[in-house]
Amino acid sequence: METIVSSAKKEVIISGDRPTTLIGERINPTGKKKMAEDLRKGDFELVRLEAREEVDIPLCIDSGDPKALEAALKVYKGKALVNSVNGAEHSMETVLPLVKEFDAAVDGKPIIYGAR
């Protein structure tokens, strides 16, 4: 099975028959103290600078906020990979309809009950 994601300029095919596809988290603030502080203050300049460094490759969009996810998918030029589905009922009910509406691919993760 192949999954194709794209930006406005590049296409990437993800498949078990192909070399491993690395997915970076360049603008994920987890573990990035300065970026997290800036975001809490509403300062998006560092995020903008980092995002510009990888604009020609397909993006993996991840947000627990369905409205933010929808806003990103509305302006994304290409076929995005959505990394916001975890198997929880709320996630399935709010994220999967957006994935379908915007013809995105999805990176889903199972819920492990009892895990913290």
Residue 116 lies in a domain: no
What pLDDT does 21 receive? Answer: 81
For residue 113, being part of any structural domain is answered with no
Residue 57 lies in a domain: yes
Number of domains in the chain: 1
Amino acid in position 39: L
50 is a domain residue: yes
Query: What is the DSSP secondary structure assignment for residue 21, as one 8-state letter?
Result: P
pLDDT given for residue 57 in this prediction? 83
User: Which residue, among 12, 110, 101, has the nearest Cα to 60 in the 3D structure?
Assistant: 12
pTM of the model: 0.75
Q: Is residue 11 part of a domain?
A: yes
CA–CA separation, 79 and 83 (whole Å)? 13
pLDDT in tens, 64-105: 889 999 999 999 999 999 987 777 888 889 989 999 999 999
50 band by pLDDT with thresholds 50, 70 and 90: confident
Judge whether 17 lies within some domain.
yes
Residue 98's domain comprises: 2-108
Mean pLDDT of 7-25: 87
What's the CATH number where 18 sits? 3.20.20.20
70 lies in some domain: yes
pLDDT score of 84:
76
Please check whether residue 35 lies inside any domain of the structure: yes
